[in-house]
Structure 1
Amino acid sequence: MSKPSHDRFDDVPHATGRVGAHRAEAPGMNGWVVLLWSAAAVLVLVVLGIFGSLLAMGRISFGGDTPPSQVATAAPEETGVVDTSYAVLILNATSDGSLDGQVRDQLIKAGWDGTSISSSDASTSDFPTTTVYYVEDADEAAAIGLAGAIGGAEVQKSDVYKDLNDSGGKQLTVVIGTDRSTKAPETPAE
């Protein structure tokens, strides 16, 4: 067998201690120190996660207080006024014939005179949402109050029912929808 040729690594002096992956454990690193460092790392990560979440949700900001001139003001929510001087027309747009009587009773309990309330069946029986209609902008607060008096309803401005006003005075129209009905809408047989 032949002898290998001489290369540059043959001139390197041999180390007297351990070399490579066989190093000794670092002194002073016992179990408690590792546990404390792990707990500190977890605590820092949790705090950063909470802070990041609050920042992303907009609960905190770095800008300080916004000057009042730059604060967006929300439009005030319109509050209703129960005004019993309005005549009320109730149109039952469901297949449940008792609903107009129930709404009439609610209005009488709220202070309306029974003679200022009239009711009739609507031309359809599948109107989806109970709605209070008003004609003029000045009637909006009274329409919202009427919607509250009957236990909540949508409020819309429309002159569709303007011609149904027999009294000649101020009138609001309540169209009772299927959202108030306990009966299923009737479907024609095929």
Structure 2
Amino acid sequence: MSQPNRDRFDDVPRSSGRVGAHRAEAPGMNGWIVLLWSFVAALVLIIAGIFGALVVMDRISLFPEAQPSATPTPEETGVVDTAVSVMILNGTPDEGLDERMRDTLINNGWTADKVFATPSDTQDFAATTVYYVADEDELAAIGLARVLGGAAVQQSDFYVSLNDTGATQLTVVIGLDRSTSAPETPDETPAS
């Protein structure tokens, strides 16, 4: 058998300890730190997965569109016009409500010859309502409703036949909401 040729590495002394970096212990890495970093990495991946799923399902938006600012609609306060004639109909079983409301209007500036009060044919009108005919009378109707302490306002020509003066006239129908002896089931039909 032939002998290999000698080279300079044959003269290096042999050591008795371990040789090579792969056998060295990692400095500062013990089991608890590895476990902690594994837990943090898993938590980050879970949160990223939930966030990504919410984005895909459109539950959240990364870049929400700017919403136009909602401008509040001003509420009409109406105009108190004491020159307008007012017909008051008592649509409740309580006697005298129409006269009391007439006195309220006279105390608020209406003249006695502009306010007419009478009982209605029906006694189960649901809610006190101010009726007006023409569009230009709406603000006067809203103002009258405010003077009465709040009432519904509605445009209708149902009560035009009650106006024999030809001038602008608002009609107030007193409803069971102002009554002290209201029946069990109010009727929703207009009072006459």
Report the number of matched residues: 139
Name the structure 1 match of 2:128.
130
Task: Provide the residue aligned with 2:85 in structure 1.
Answer: 87
Report how far residue 92 of structure 1 moved. 0.2
RMSD of Structure 2 on Structure 1 (CA): 3.5
Matched, 1:63 2:65: yes
> Residues 186, 96 of structure 1: CA spacing in aligned structure 2 closer, same or farther, 3 A cutoff?
farther
Q: 1:163 aligns with which of 155, 161, 171?
A: 161
Where does structure 2 lack aligned partners over 5 or more consecutive residues? 1-30, 41-58, 186-192
- Equivalent runs, 1:35-74 vs 2, <5 Å: 62-64=64-66, 66=68
CA distance, structure 1, for counterparts of residue 118 and residue 110 of structure 2 = 17
Q: Deviations over 1:24-73 (max 9, x none)?
A: xx647xxxx9xxx9xxxxxxxxxxxxxxxxxx9xxxx832364xxxx676
Q: 1:107 aligns with which of 105, 108, 119?
A: 105
Counterpart position of 2:176? 178
> Residue 159 of structure 1: CA displacement?
0.8
Partner Cα distance (1:186, 1:97) in 2: 18
Residue 82 of structure 1: how far off its partner (Å): 0.3
- Cα deviation, residue 101, structure 1: 1.9
What TM-score does the superposition give when structure 1 sets the normalisation length?
Answer: 0.61
With normalisation by structure 2, the TM-score equals 0.60
* Equivalent residue, structure 2, for 1:51: none
Counterpart Cα distance in 2 of 1:156 and 1:65:
34
Q: Deviations over 1:91-139 (max 9, x none)?
A: 0010001211221122122211122111111110000010000010000
Instruction: Measure the CA separation in 1 of the matches of 2:174 and 2:182.
Output: 14
* Cα separation, 2, equivalents of 1:79 and 1:184: 30
Residue 141 of structure 1 and its aligned partner are, at CA, apart by: 0.3
CA distance in 2, matches of 1:132, 1:64: 42
Q: For residues 121 and 65 of structure 1, do their structure 2 counterparts lie closer, same or farther at Cα, with a shift above 3 Å needed? A: closer
| Matches of 2:99 and 2:73, distance apart in 1 | 36
Structure 2 counterpart SS, 1:155: strand
